[in-house]
């Protein structure tokens, strides 16, 4: 399998290990497979009795053909071990008309673990296959969950360093404590005065900044990314959609619609990839919070980031520049148009797709949003009616799923992606249930007592952990912090 950049009209080709090692293309584009991947019905049926790790190894091997099947099988077995994820990494839970795909049973209690327990292993394999002498310096911009999941995945991994940037004041107290207390000799965490888009733009600019790249190489490092702009982070996410379709035991000819709480567009893009690869998936519902730039785009064809930014109770979706949308645009419109769209977005803050492109997008994707009132009401209603506790991101998804089912005549089963443990956002969930929440661990204790549900040990144990990282900088100082970290000895 060869890969190309979403902005390269010439179509230069790359191997999968180059793609994972580099993270982002030299022209600023994102890597994507040149050829389509498709699983025959018989292949999907053959996975039914397989473990999640075995399913993952088989599915990923179709995309990453440069890696031996034995290496992928070993990596997946290590990543999705019972010690890290329990007996099933991605279980299903029924509540009313909705089936939830629970993706928060990993080490950091968020769906990002599903990719970031495997991706460091893929990067190590890529470094080995590339034959380079330099070590990887992994840069991550996080809106909350990716940061901790990446830190946990890369901590003390040989030949890597990882630096995470998060928006100061833009993540929950628990998310922040998870990151700042991270153990490991090769990790660093830095707050940024601004929002997630400032962090993400800063990281992208550093990747292409020769004044940073040259001194970095002198320290014996090269840049890579653990955000979903890296295909090595994206491809493991395809697995849980195909796996869920298998576990749902859908009758012959029946498709399931899938609702995905969406910020940077990576998770829903993985669902789109699974659909196009032959999984029995119908419509995809793109669920946004009050930062509804994607809802507006899929409704009008105009993507406009020139708008007010809102801090919400679903901070991992507080995003105005959804990077992985670029890959979908490439799939639908090609490299030439995609390059122009991204140029306009960077220079003008807005782009518009033509009517034909919008029509194709709308055939597969329905988009809507939930405001804060909708989100909190959905948390309360879901718990009262089904005794099922969901976090704010999952609540946004639930609201969107219910709206879609009311507005359309679809009889397809509905799958909603549950992206994080509700205890990561205890104050918001508590307020939604009418509790006097308090903050942080007090809110977690009260929520657990009220609901009768034990909070995950990975979260309750944080109260005794000490913070290790204290630096907060303006966006223009991010590159300087990267150079400082690169010069530190592990």
pTM of the predicted structure, to 2 decimals: 0.94
**Domain spans of the chain, in order of start:** 92-110+232-456
Between 269 and 409, where is the model more confident? 269
Thinking of the domain 92-110+232-456, which architecture would CATH place it in?
Answer: 3-Layer(aba) Sandwich (3.40)
Average pLDDT value for residue range 42-68: 97
* pLDDT tens-digit series, residues 418-448: 999 999 999 999 999 999 767 789 999 999 9
User: 3-state DSSP: the chain helix, strand, coil percent, rounded to 5?
Assistant: 50, 15, 35
Residue 42 clears pLDDT 80, i.e. is over it: yes
Reference 271, options 312, 238, 244; nearest CA is 238
* pLDDT tens-digit series, residues 367-386: 999 999 999 999 999 999 99
CA atoms within a 13 Å half-sphere pointing along the CA-CB vector of 168: 13
Give φ, ψ of 111 to 5 degrees: -65, -20
* pLDDT tens-digit series, residues 284-300: 999 999 999 999 999 99
Residue 490 clears pLDDT 80, i.e. is over it: no
Separation CA 127–CA 204 (nearest Å): 21
Q: How far is CA 133 from CA 56, 129, 153, 187, 472, in A?
A: 30, 11, 22, 20, 32
Q: Are 435 and 446 in contact (CB under 8 A)?
A: yes
* pLDDT tens-digit series, residues 235-262: 999 999 999 999 999 999 999 999 999 9
Residue 409 clears pLDDT 90, i.e. is over it: no
Average pLDDT value for residue range 104-119: 96
Residue 211 clears pLDDT 90, i.e. is over it: no
Residue 154: both structure tokens together = 């890369």
Separation CA 255–CA 412 (nearest Å): 6
């Amino acid at each position: 399998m060869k890969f190309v950049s979403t902005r390269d009209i010439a179509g230069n080709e790359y191997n999968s290990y180059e793609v994972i090692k580099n993270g982002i293309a030299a022209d600023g584009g994102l890597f994507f497979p040149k050829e389509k991947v498709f699983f025959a019905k018989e292949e999907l049926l053959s996975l039914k009795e397989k473990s999640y790790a075995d399913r993952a190894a088989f599915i990923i091997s179709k995309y990453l053909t440069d890696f031996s099947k034995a290496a992928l099988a070993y990596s997946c077995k290590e990543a999705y071990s019972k010690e890290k994820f329990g007996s099933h990494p991605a279980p299903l839970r029924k509540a009313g008309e909705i089936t939830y795909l629970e993706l928060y049973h990993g080490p950091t209690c968020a769906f990002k673990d599903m990719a970031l327990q495997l991706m460091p292993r893929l990067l190590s394999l890529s470094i080995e296959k590339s034959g380079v002498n330099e070590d990887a310096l992994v840069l991550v911009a996080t809106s909350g969950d990716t940061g901790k999941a990446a830190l946990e995945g890369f901590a003390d991994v040989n030949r890597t360093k990882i630096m995470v940037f998060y928006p100061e004041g833009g993540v929950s107290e628990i998310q922040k404590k998870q990151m700042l207390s991270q153990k490991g000799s090769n990790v660093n965490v830095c707050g940024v005065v601004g929002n997630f888009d400032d962090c993400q733009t800063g990281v992208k600019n550093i990747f292409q900044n020769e004044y940073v790249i040259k001194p970095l190489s002198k320290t014996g490092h090269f840049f890579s990314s653990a955000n979903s702009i890296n295909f090595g982070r994206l491809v493991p996410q395809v697995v849980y959609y195909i796996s869920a379709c298998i576990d749902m035991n859908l009758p012959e000819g029946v498709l399931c619609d899938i609702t995905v709480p969406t910020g940077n567009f990576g998770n829903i893009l993985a669902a789109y990839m699974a659909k196009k690869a032959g999984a029995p998936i119908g419509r995809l519902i793109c669920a946004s919070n009050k930062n509804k730039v994607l809802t507006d785009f899929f409704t009008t064809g105009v993507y406009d980031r020139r708008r007010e930014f809102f801090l919400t109770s679903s901070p991992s979706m507080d995003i105005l520049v959804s990077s992985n949308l670029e890959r979908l645009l490439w799939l639908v419109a090609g490299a030439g148009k995609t390059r122009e769209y991204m140029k306009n977005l960077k220079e003008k803050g807005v782009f518009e797709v033509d009517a034909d492109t919008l029509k194709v997008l709308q055939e597969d994707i329905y988009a809507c949003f939930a405001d804060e009132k909708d989100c909190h009401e959905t948390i309360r209603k879901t718990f009262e009616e089904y005794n099922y506790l969901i976090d704010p991101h999952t609540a946004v998804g639930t609201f969107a799923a219910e709206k879609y089912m009311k507005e359309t005549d679809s009889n397809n089963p509905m799958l909603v992606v549950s992206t994080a443990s509700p205890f990561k956002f205890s104050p918001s969930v508590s307020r939604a249930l009418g509790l006097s929440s308090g903050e942080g661990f007090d809110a977690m204790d009260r929520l657990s007592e009220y609901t009768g549900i034990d909070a995950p040990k990975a979260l309750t144990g944080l109260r005794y952990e000490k913070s290790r990282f204290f630096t907060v900088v303006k966006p223009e100082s991010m590159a300087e912090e990267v150079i400082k970290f690169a010069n530190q000895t592990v």
